[in-house]
Structure 1
Amino acid sequence: MQSAPADEPVRGGSQPLLHQRGGETQPFGTLKQLPIGLAHDTRMYACQRLNHVLADTQILHALYKKHHWLVRGATFYSLHLLLDKHAAEQLALVDVLAERIQSLGGVAVADPRHVAELTCVPRPPDGVEQVPVMLSRLLDAHERILTDARDAAARISAQGDEGSNDLLISEVVRTGEAQVWFLAEHLVDTPLVRV
């Protein structure tokens, strides 16, 4: 048996086939046909709305991580842990939203640069803000997402897509409402050391 020269790949071997190129197999904003009992237009609309919620949720996750790293002051420890917990919950929502879009035959927004084009959540400054400003920024992002998610859920439900409606209400809205409650309570003006 003759061996291949050192610079020639071995066929059928364990050498990775590197530097592959090719075109998109499915462009963003298109659907592939899946036998799930929903009309094309219903699935297309649901994917569009879900992708906007997904983009905003990815930005909210990033805001939580930023503020988790940069929070300061007397409540540092509790907020540091809370913001990280909320970030993990938002990351879980990112995954279920993306998987729902894929299950409808769509393409989930994934690249951070594309996410930035779709989001309605304002960009924060690059530096550190005061803690109440950070929390207010998170609350504003939540309100934007909750408003959009409720509207999307109602309109998607009217078109017969109860799966997407359930995801938006049971997961996005309920998680967001609970997180808003926890954040807002940190903005109550209560003295920390005296009564």
Structure 2
Amino acid sequence: MIHPAPADSTPAPGGGQPLLHQKGPETQRFGTVKQLPLGLGHDTRMYACQRLNRVLADTQMLHSLYKKHHWLVRGATFHALHQMLDRHAEAQLALVDELAERVQSLGGVAVGDPRHAAELTSVPRPPDGVEPVPVMLSRLLDAHERILVDARDAAARIAAEGDEGSNDLLVSGVLRTGEAQVWFLAEHLVDTPLVRA
């Protein structure tokens, strides 16, 4: 039996009804930092957020490239590459989260929308279709190099500003992870005989 709604069907506060389709103004614009008691000046935090967001956008694109190539890789080395590319993608996704949270912890606004990241990235867009495996790996290596060059420069400049936390994330996270992944990728592009020296 269906019971009719009461005459006043306005939900009581906290009554369990979701408040859907809400709209409102931005509470903080991208490219701004709010004041936090971190012992770091406004300009230092602003600069760090700008540099971290650039690395973040590139890292989001690198993660997407890894997933694309993980799905589309083929050939005799399919299984090994399929698994390796997925592991690398997971590590890049962890860096995306760490970079975004660092920006937020500095009072900034992290690049959170993939369309916004695509506007900021220096990583070239791949074709929509499938490329040969060596081209996929070369594309990943190029993206890594772009990030590593930018992250090294950002780490040095941010350290000079006294932001050791952001420097540590760039060096211990972005650089070390990227360098290890470059090694693994590059070794797959060595043209070496399998059964005869």
1:51-92 CA-to-partner distances (Å, cap 9, x unmatched) read: 000000000000000000000000000000000000000000
Counterpart residue number, 1:105: 107
Q: CA deviation at 1:190?
A: 1.8
Contact 1:71–1:79 under 8 Å retained in 2: yes
Equivalent of residue 161 in structure 2, options 156, 159, 170:
159
Matches within 5 A, 1:87-166: 87-166=89-168
Separation of aligned partners in 1, 2:116 and 2:68: 20
Aligned length: 193
Tell me how large the CA RMSD over aligned residues is: 1.3
| Alignment of 1:33 onto 2:30 | no
Matched position secondary structure for 1:149: helix
Separation of aligned partners in 1, 2:65 and 2:173: 19
Q: Which amino acid aligns with 1:141?
A: A
Equivalent of residue 21 in structure 2, options 19, 43, 54:
19
List runs of 5+ in structure 1 lacking aligned partners: none
Q: Which amino acid aligns with 1:81?
A: Q
Matches within 5 A, 1:33-72: 33-72=35-74
Counterpart residue number, 2:181: 179
TM-score scaled by length of structure 2: 0.95
Contact 1:33–1:105 under 8 Å retained in 2: yes
Identical amino acids, percent of aligned pairs: 80
TM-score scaled by length of structure 1: 0.96
List runs of 5+ in structure 2 lacking aligned partners: none
Q: CA deviation at 1:192?
A: 3.9
Matched position secondary structure for 1:82: helix
Q: Which amino acid aligns with 2:22?
A: Q
